[in-house]
Amino acid sequence: MIRKLVPEDVSEALNFLGEESAFNLFIIGDIENFGIETDFQAVWGEFNDQERLVAVMLRYFNSYVLYADSPYDASGFSAIIIENGDGKLLSGKASVVSQMEKHLHLDSGRNKASYFCTLREFAPGMMQQDPRVKSATEEDIGRILKLYELIKEFGAPPSREMLAKNLANHAGRIYFIEDHSGNIVSMAQSTAENSRSAMIVGVATDPRERRRGLASACVSKLCQDLLAEGKEACLFYSNPQAGRIYKRLGFNDIGTWNMYTLNQPAATGV
């Protein structure tokens, strides 16, 4: 049976998701930071005959994240996405969300597959201390968005509202290095921060300032602070060259993550 979760389900849901906390950092973080239902967020769970959770799906704005630890009702969760009619992205552990393909009629060409890796401790000698790295506040968002505009690989930048919300709710942080003119030239961010882990995103350097170790310094400082707080640092990568850089720091692959772009409407039926 699939139903929306209620406050009494939160403890059980977090324990269930905590079995693979790295893969579930988005769901855990959003539940801890925003609750189980707001105007932009909702959470559903599937319970088996013993009233045990076997799957959880979260909607955050128009993105859906799904997790299951055993066979689950992919058709039922697909029907929810179709009924809501607002879905643009579906993501999760590859072995889980791939089961949604036939129900949502997903085009495999619209799937972005990435390696998922985590950092629990730095490799020997790889912890950097760079005094140029600063922690961003809401006042820095304008300069951060200007750097986004220079990074072609990023596509559309995040909204000012989303960055401000993450900073205000401590759901994420941004570390950066600026040049002598006050322009931000490199940055690394976290998102979906929760009591156990955080996702590293938005690692970028102005193309004119690359190959100087600026991004590595930002990532190193961000990871140091996360680990000092007892949080596991996680990130995606699809470029093998980037993967080698992260692995030198001490990151290790733990699996793969799929992100599907949903058609609009999401599907014609299940």
Q: Report if residue 72 sits inside a domain.
A: yes
> What confidence tens digit (pLDDT) does each residue in 158-170 have?
889 989 988 998 8
Q: pTM here?
A: 0.82
In this structure, are 131 and 71 located in the same domain? no
Q: Report if residue 257 sits inside a domain.
A: no
How far, rounded to the nearest angstrom, does the alpha carbon of residue 72 sit from its chain's CA centroid? 23
Tell which of 62, 96, 114 closes a domain. Answer: 114
Structural domain that includes position 202: 122-249
> What confidence tens digit (pLDDT) does each residue in 143-200 have?
999 999 999 888 778 889 989 988 998 889 999 999 999 999 999 999 989 999 999 9
Q: 49-58, 66-75, 165-174, 259-268 — which is least confidently predicted? A: 259-268
Q: Report if residue 263 sits inside a domain.
A: no
Q: How many CB atoms lie within 10 A of CB 109?
A: 6
In this structure, are 190 and 138 located in the same domain? yes
pLDDT band at 269 (very low <50, low <70, confident <90, very high): very low
Average pLDDT over all residues of the chain: 92
| Edge-to-edge strand list for the sheet holding 174-178 | 2-4, 41-47, 53-60, 63-68, 89-93, 252-261, 111-119, 232-237, 197-205, 184-191, 174-178, 134-135
CATH number of residue 110's parent domain: 3.40.630.30
Count structural domains, the chain: 2
> What confidence tens digit (pLDDT) does each residue in 117-140 have?
999 999 988 888 899 999 999 999
Q: Report if residue 259 sits inside a domain.
A: no
